[in-house]
Amino acid sequence: MKLNSIRILGVRVNKTSKEEVLVCVKNFLNENRKFLIVTPNPEILVEAARNKKFAAVLNSAEIAIADGVGLKLADLSLEIIKGRQLMMELFKLADDLALKIYLLGSTEKVNQEAVMKATREYPNAKVAGAAGALLNSQGEPVGGQESTTGKAIVTEINQFKPDLLFVAFGAPKQELWVSRVLPKLKVGGVMVVGGSFDYFVGGSSVPKLVLSLGLEWLWRLIKEPWRAKRIFTAVFLFPLLLLTNTSEVQ
Q: DSSP assignment of 27-71, as one string?
A: HHHHTT--EEEE---HHHHHHHHH-HHHHHHHHH-SEE---SGGG
Q: Which residues of the chain have pLDDT under 70?
A: 143-149, 203-206, 210-234, 246-250
Residue 198 Cα to chain centre, angstroms: 13
Distance in angstroms (rounded) separating the CA atoms of residues 21 and 76: 19
| Inter-axis angle of helices 42-50 and 52-60, nearest 10 | 120
Q: What is the pLDDT of residue 236?
A: 79
- Of 168, 172, 164, which Cα lies nearest the Cα of 188? 164
Element at 7 (helix H, strand E)? strand 5-8
Q: What is the pLDDT of residue 147?
A: 47
What are the pLDDT digits (tens) for 28-58?
999 999 999 999 999 999 999 999 999 999 9
DSSP state of 184: G
- Of 117, 90, 96, which Cα lies nearest the Cα of 192? 90
Strand, coil or helix: what is 6? strand
H helix count then E strand count, the chain? 12, 8
pTM (2 d.p.): 0.90
Q: What is the pLDDT of residue 1?
A: 73
- Which region holds residue 91: left if phi is over 0, alpha if psi is between -120 and 50, else beta? alpha
